[in-house]
Amino acid sequence: MTRAMKVNVLILVVAMAVVGVGGAVSAAEETLRLESLIQEALAVNPEIRAEGKRWEAARERPPQERSLDDPMLSFEIENLPTRSFGFTQDDMTMKKLSIAQAFPFFGKLDLRSEVAQREANAVGHGYLDKRNEIVRRVKELFYELYALERSLDIVENSRELLKQFVKIAETKYSVGKGVQQDVLRAQVELSKLLDEQIRLEQSRQAAGARLNAMLNRPPQTPLGRTEEPSKADVPIGLSELQARALENRPLLKGLQEEIERSKAANTLARKRYFPDLTMSLGYAFREDSAVARRSDFFSAGFSINIPLYFRTKQDRRVAETSALINSAREQYQAARNEVVSMVKELVADIDKGRKLIDLLETGLIPQARLSLDSAVAGYQVGKVDFLTLLDNRLTLFNFEKEYYRTMGEYQISLARLEWAIGASIH
């Protein structure tokens, strides 16, 4: 090996060692457990807390809508003569205190309260759906980290394997049984692995930053090494999963509440054709004159509003709420179709992922390892060329990476399925 080649190898090894140190430190950290992350996210995620406060605010509206409007207290001075502005000159001069209370037509208050309650229920289901969404997103980031970490492990193992290939090639070259080109090819492969390792580490840091944001942490907060996920299957058939989604998904429940809210608003709009009643009580104080004593006056009365402009007000309100009912129904149907379709698609992805995992785990990876072992033994005795050896190494490397990528996607599809149906599938 020339002096320049030795320098290049030294630089390459040092650079990979620096990357390897980061991986070793990460591996030494505490295990990152999915359930703990989920519980933390549910407790501190700002999106969940904001939606919770919105629900809390919405629950305060029904009692307000059920209550009567505030009574009106009024004070008047009546029949005060302008020539003297005296309260004793004229018999009809008085100070009047009155109170009035409006009473909506029968059923309006209950309907107003129902509209507000339906809105609060819809917001509540939105809050639950947001919680499920955050759980799904935490799982997605967790399994993305898992796949990236295991891919980094594979790169590290492949790097060690290539180092052995370099030693074998150097040994054969030193005794005249090999060629320098084999050593150079191995160094090129080491450089490719270093590039792959750097890119994977960058992706891992980005995923970690996004996960920290979900947990309301600073983005640079260190994370431990992800735990191994279970390889659980879906124990329920497609039809039952779709039925559960239609029954449990908070999004659909919220849209059903929107339909009922629109119906109640339509009924309330029809009630607006009937007048409201306002009742009043008054008491008038008169002052005695120099020659006569004057008694006070008591008064009572009522008034109603006349829906005279019903064609431009009440009719239009009924038409508006009727359109909103139809809109809410169409939104529900669209969401229902999407959920049913999503469940079917996710079940297909999970089935495909499980089959591919089994194929890689029990067939392709073991066969690739045996092929590589055979190629190493053949190269050492001169029966296999170095290019074939590298090709077998690359095949195993790709299969192992594909295994963990597929495992991550499989777990992500399971998380999305649970989010789609709004409940656990186990």
User: pLDDT tens digits, residue range 332-381?
Assistant: 999 999 999 999 999 999 999 999 999 998 899 889 889 888 887 887 77
Poorest-pLDDT segment among 164-178, 206-220, 233-247, 254-268 = 164-178
- State how far the Cα of 213 lies from the Cα of 141, in Å rounded to an integer: 11
- CA dist 295 to 282, 283, 306, Å? 14, 11, 36
Poorest-pLDDT segment among 213-217, 227-231, 240-244, 375-379 = 375-379
Q: Which residue has the higher pLDDT, 50 or 375?
A: 50
Average pLDDT rounded to a whole number, residues 317-344: 95
- 81 pLDDT exceeds 90? no
Is residue 298 located within the same domain as residue 363?
Answer: no
Average pLDDT rounded to a whole number, residues 207-236: 87
Q: What's the chain's average pLDDT?
A: 85
Is residue 88 located within the same domain as residue 193?
Answer: no
Q: Is residue 36 part of a domain?
A: yes
Model pLDDT, residue 61: 94
217 Cβ contact partners less than 8 Å away, ≥ 6 residues apart: none
Contact 204, 143 (CB under 8 A): no
Give the model's confidence band at 26: pLDDT under 50 very low, under 70 low, under 90 confident, else very high.
very low
Contact 254, 339 (CB under 8 A): no
Domain count of the chain?
Answer: 2
Range of the domain at 87: 69-103+274-309
Q: Which residue has the higher pLDDT, 138 or 167?
A: 138
Q: Is residue 135 part of a domain?
A: yes
Q: Is residue 284 part of a domain?
A: yes
Is residue 129 located within the same domain as residue 262?
Answer: yes
Q: Is residue 197 part of a domain?
A: yes
Radius of gyration (Cα) for the chain, nearest Å? 39
Contact 361, 402 (CB under 8 A): no
Model pLDDT, residue 111: 94
Is residue 304 located within the same domain as residue 248?
Answer: no
CA 368, 369, 371, 376: dihedral to nearest 10 degrees?
140
Is residue 293 located within the same domain as residue 327?
Answer: no
Q: Is residue 163 part of a domain?
A: yes
Q: Is residue 238 part of a domain?
A: yes
Is residue 123 located within the same domain as residue 235?
Answer: yes
Last residue of a domain, one of 309, 324, 354: 309
Beta strands in 13-93 (DSSP E): 31-32, 72-78
Last residue of a domain, one of 261, 282, 309: 309
Residue 410's CB is within 10 A of a number of other CB atoms, namely 22
Poorest-pLDDT segment among 162-176, 271-285, 311-325 = 162-176
**Two structure tokens written together for 406:** 């597929």
CATH of the domain at 33: 1.20.1600.10
59-80: pLDDT as tens digits: 999 999 999 999 999 999 888 8
Q: Is residue 28 part of a domain?
A: yes
Is residue 131 located within the same domain as residue 278?
Answer: no
Last residue of a domain, one of 284, 309, 334: 309
Report how far Cα 359 is from the mean position of its chain's Cα atoms. Answer: 33
Model pLDDT, residue 23: 42
Q: Is residue 426 part of a domain?
A: no
Nearest to 54 by CA among 119, 106, 139: 119
Is residue 83 located within the same domain as residue 232?
Answer: no
- 28 pLDDT exceeds 70? no
Q: Which residue has the higher pLDDT, 402 or 184?
A: 402
Q: Which residue has the higher pLDDT, 381 or 247?
A: 247
Is residue 219 located within the same domain as residue 129?
Answer: yes
Nearest to 158 by CA among 202, 200, 190, 187: 190
Is residue 58 located within the same domain as residue 134?
Answer: yes
- 156 pLDDT exceeds 90? no
Is residue 401 located within the same domain as residue 413?
Answer: yes
Give the model's confidence band at 190: pLDDT under 50 very low, under 70 low, under 90 confident, else very high.
confident
Is residue 122 located within the same domain as residue 240?
Answer: yes
Residue 191's CB is within 10 A of a number of other CB atoms, namely 14
- State how far the Cα of 40 lies from the Cα of 143, in Å rounded to an integer: 17
- State how far the Cα of 272 lies from the Cα of 107, in Å rounded to an integer: 10
The fraction of the chain above a pLDDT of 90, given in percent, is 54
